[in-house]
Amino acid sequence: MGRYVIRRLLQMIPVFFGATLLIFLMVNVMGDPIAGLCGDRKCDPATAAQLKKEFGLDKPVWQQYATYMGNVFTGDFGTAFNGQKVTELMSTAFPVTIRLTLVAIVFEIVIGITLGVVTGLRRGKPIDTVVLLLTLIVISVPTFVTGLLLQLLLGVEWGVIKPSVSSEATVDELIVPGLVLASVSLAYVTRLTRTSIAENRRADYVRTAVAKGLPRRRVITRHLLRNSLIPVVTFIGTDVGALMGGAIVTERIFNIHGVGFQLYQGILRQSTQTVVGFVTVLVLVFLAANLIVDLLYAVLDPRIRYA
Partner 1 sequence: MPEPHDPAEGAIAGTGAGGAMDLAASEATTLAPGEPGGPGGTGAGAPARSLWSDAWRDLRRNPVFIVSGLIILFLVLISLWPSAIASGDPLDCDLANAQKGSSPGHPFGFDGQGCDVYTRTVYGARASVTVGVCATLGVALLGSVLGGLAGFFGGAWDAILSRITDVFFAIPVVLGGLVLLSVVTSNTVWPVIGFMVLLGWPQISRIARGSVITAKQNDYVQAARALGASNSRMLLRHIAPNAVAPVIVVATIALGTYIALEATLSYLGVGLKPPTVSWGIDISAASQYIRNAPHMLLWPAGALAITVLAFIMLGDAVRDALDPKLR
Partner 2 sequence: MRGATQAKWAACAVAVALAATACGGGGGGGGGDGSGIVGSSWGDPQNPLEPANTNEVQGGKVLDMLVRGLKRYDPKTGEAKDMIAESIDTKDSQNFTVKIKDGWKFSNGEAVTAKSFVDAWNYGAHLKNNQKNAYFFGYIEGYDKVHPEKGDASAETLSGLKVVDEKTFTVKLTQKFSTWPDTLGYPAYAPLPKAFFDNHDAWLSKPIGNGPYTVKSYQKGSKMELRKWDGYSGDDKAQNGGVDLKVYTDNNTAYTDLMAGNLDLVDDVPASQLKNVKSDLGDRYINTPAGIIQTLAFPFYDKKWDKAGSEKVRQGLSRAINREQITDTIFQKTRTPAKDWTSPVLGKDGGYSDSVCGDWCEYDADEAKKLVEEGGGIPGGTLKISYNADTGSHKEWVDAVCNSINKALGKSNACVGNPIGTFADFRSRASQQKLDGAWRAGWQMDYPLIQNFLEPNYYTDASSNDGKYSDKEFDKLINEANGETDTAKAVTKFQDAEKILAKDMPAIPLWYQNGSAGYSDRVSDVSLNQFSVPVYEAIKVN
Query: Segment 228-267, which members bind partner 1 (CB under 8 A)?
Result: 231, 234-235, 238-239, 241-242, 245-246, 248-249, 252, 263-264, 267
Sole window of 13-21, 70-78, 80-88, 130-138 interacting with partner 2 (rule: CB under 8 A): 80-88
- The answer to the question of residue 144 lying near partner 1 (CB under 8 A) is yes
231 makes contact, choosing from partner 2, partner 1, none, with CB < 5 to 8 Å by partner type, with partner 1
Question: Residue 87's CB: how many other CB atoms inside 10 A?
Answer: 13
If we measure between CA atoms, which residue out of 283, 282, 272 comes closest to residue 79? Answer: 272
Return d(Cα 143, Cα 139) in angstroms, integer. 8
* Residue 127 in the binding site for partner 2 (CB under 8 A): no
Residues 6 or more apart whose CB falls under 8 angstroms from that of 171 comprise 99, 103
Among 1, 6, 66, 141, binds partner 1 (CB under 8 A): 141
Least distance in angstroms from the C-beta of 10 to partner 1:
11
Which of partner 1, partner 2, none sits in contact with 109, Cβ below 5 to 8 A by type? partner 2
Q: Which does 122 bind (CB under 5 to 8 A by kind): partner 2, partner 1, none?
A: none
Find out whether 165 and 97 touch, Cβ atoms under 8 Å.
Answer: no
As measured in angstroms, the least distance from the Cβ of 70 to partner 1 is 20
Sign of the dihedral defined by the CA atoms of residues 60, 62, 68, 71, in that order = negative
| Closest separation in Å from C-beta 187 to partner 2 | 18
- Least distance CB 174 / partner 2 (angstroms): 8
CB 34 within 8 A of CB 282: no
Q: Which residues contact 103 (CB under 8 A, 6 or more apart)?
A: 171, 174, 175, 177, 178, 179, 182
Rounded to whole angstroms, how far apart are CA atoms 256 and 15?
A: 30
- Which residues neighbour 111 within 8 Å (Cβ) at sequence distance 6 or greater? 186, 190
- Integer Cα distance of 179 and 247 in angstroms: 12
Does residue 144 contact residue 253 with C-beta atoms inside 8 Å?
A: yes
Query: Which of 9, 38, 130, 149 is in the footprint of partner 1 by CB under 8 A?
Result: 149
Interface ranges with partner 1 (CB under 8 A): 4, 8, 11, 14-15, 18-19, 22-23, 26-27, 29-31, 136-137, 139-145, 148-149, 152, 156, 184-185, 188, 191-192, 195-196, 198-199, 231, 234-235, 238-239, 241-242, 245-246, 248-249, 252, 263-264, 267, 275, 279, 282-283, 286-287, 290, 293-294, 297, 301, 303-304, 306
